[in-house]
Amino acid sequence: MFKYNQYCPVAKAAEILGDRWTILIIREAIFGCCHFNEFHRNLPGISRSVLSDRLQRLESVDVLERQAIDSRRSEYTLTPVGHELKAVVFAMGGWGARWIVTDPTPKEADPDTIMLFIARHLRESELPEKRVVVEFNLRANRRRRTYWLVLMKGASSLCRQYPGYETNVSIASKVTDLQKVYLGRSTWADAVRNGSITIDGPKALVRRFPKWMLWSRFAPVVAERAGESKRNVSG
């Protein structure tokens, strides 16, 4: 394990957090990810050996706790030490949102990831009491994927196979256009108005849909910047 050999809290933190993938593993843990294959699914590109190494390392420095559920599965959960890394992760995210994020590139256009992000940022208090099934038809790099987001207060879920329930609302979009709305580079209203995203279904549900979406916590920061550059361009 690499050491800076400096008696400095920043250096000490950097020794732990600086390994590739580590901060994203912590981000996943913050959002409730807790199984090995769940981390592996949510972090496209990480190898199993690196994931294994990082989880062990984070356990060894008391950021994650590993608990055996049964002989087959374990659970990784944040310790109090790990929970306080929220401040670091959100500081990094805030900075990235404010200064770095631009439009998504084709390589970033991963439908699984954006649906995961959307599904775990729901406005729980606004969700319907009665189940609403929203079908997402996403296109990226000439491929198509369909997801079903089952929305119900306290019992929402994301499905990659048809869940059997009747679909109430259908959304169609390029992955990148949905990503831009999610991160605040454009608004839902604008995207629907200009046709980059289409939404079909009973009018009442279509109107309520955006109220169910929380989108990214960084969206306001990204949106604010979009406002700035528009002002810069126009005046």
Partner DNA sequence: CGGTATCCCCCGCGATACTG
Partner DNA sequence: CAGTATCGCGGGGGATACCG
Note whether 19 binds DNA by CB under 7 A.
Answer: yes
Q: Residue 147 phi/psi, 5° resolution?
A: -130, 155
Choice between 60 and 194, CB closer to DNA: 60
Indicate the residue among 46 and 122 with the shorter CB distance to DNA. Answer: 46
Distances (CA, A) of 106 to 56, 62, 143, 181: 33, 37, 12, 16
**Stretch binding DNA (CB under 7 A), from 72-80, 111-119, 202-210, 218-226:** 72-80
Q: Between 5 and 71, whose beta carbon lies closer to a second copy?
A: 5
Among residues 5, 71, 229, 234, the one that binds DNA under rule CB under 7 A: 71
Cα(175)–Cα(41) distance, integer angstroms: 18
Q: Give the contact letters, 112-151, x = binds to DNA (CB under 7 A), - = no.
A: ----------------------------------------
Structure tokens at 125: 């208090």
Bridge partners of 86, per DSSP, are none
Nearer Cβ to DNA, position 69 or 189?
A: 69
Which of 175, 77, 183, 191 minimizes the C-alpha distance to 121? Answer: 183
Please report how many Cα atoms fall inside a 13 Å half-sphere around the Cα of residue 187, on the Cβ side.
9
Residues interacting with a second copy, by CB under 8 A?
Answer: 2-14, 16-18, 20-21, 23-24, 27, 44-45, 61-62, 81, 84-85, 87-89, 91-101, 104-105, 107-110, 113-114, 117, 179, 183, 216, 218, 221-222
Query: Of DNA, a second copy, none, which one does residue 211 interact with (CB within 5 to 8 Å by kind)?
Result: none
**Residue 178: contacted member of DNA, a second copy, none (CB under 5 to 8 Å, by partner type):** none
Helix axes 86-95, 22-30, angle to 10 degrees: 110
Enter the tokens of residue 90.
Answer: 């959100």
Q: 123: which residues sit within 8 A by CB, 6+ positions away?
A: 211, 212, 213, 214
205 binds DNA (CB under 7 A): no
Which of 23, 24, 50, 92 is close enough to bind DNA by CB under 7 A? 50
Looking at beta carbons only, is 35 or 230 nearer to DNA? 35
Spatial separation of the C-alpha atoms in residues 139 and 142, rounded to whole Å: 6
Alpha-carbon distance 136 to 170, whole Å?
Answer: 6
**Chain residues in the site for DNA (CB under 7 A):** 2, 19-20, 35-38, 45-50, 52-53, 55-56, 66, 71-74, 76
